[in-house]
Amino acid sequence: MTPTVNTAPAAMPACAARPQDHHHRLVEKLIDRLPDRVRAPTRWLRRPSSRWVRVPTGVLLVGGGFLSILPLFGLWMLPLGFFLLAEDMPPLRRARNRILDRLQLHRPHWFAAGETAGPSVISPPAQPSAPSDIHS
């Protein structure tokens, strides 16, 4: 009789999670901060089955960003277009991941759990409660 050996893969500890999962969670936390009417379409565009819409939308947004001198178009379209294209293009995905890591380092409150920004994507900076009386 031979002893049975458990060949099932061991669960990975949280600290050894794949980098893709980490960046996916960061993107989801940013999407959670979007207004309700934008959140659902953004999640739909990120699904793998929506690639046929995501790539042309990303290309149109990047093109519209380059036409930012015209009314209706703006520079806000460039990062949004590159963000959408990064789902399908590895070089852009690496750049997006570096940007997400940098944002997490410099703006950790954007990724705080349970916080929503309300009507805006980025919350305005906190105002000081009262002016301090400083004597020189």
pLDDT in tens, 2-61: 555 555 444 444 444 576 788 888 888 888 888 889 889 989 988 989 899 999 999 999
Q: Is the pLDDT of residue 76 over 70?
A: yes
Residue 91, CA atoms < 13 Å, CB-side half-sphere: 0
**Nearest Cα to Cα of residue 80 among 113, 58, 106, 99:** 58
Tell whether the model's pLDDT for residue 123 goes beyond 80. no
Q: Residue type at 66?
A: F
Average pLDDT, the chain: 77
| pTM of the predicted model over 0.95 | no
pLDDT value for 71: 80
Contact in structure between 92 and 86 (CB atoms under 8 Å): yes
Alpha carbon separation from 123 to 15, 35, 109, 120, 127 (Å, rounded): 30, 12, 10, 6, 12
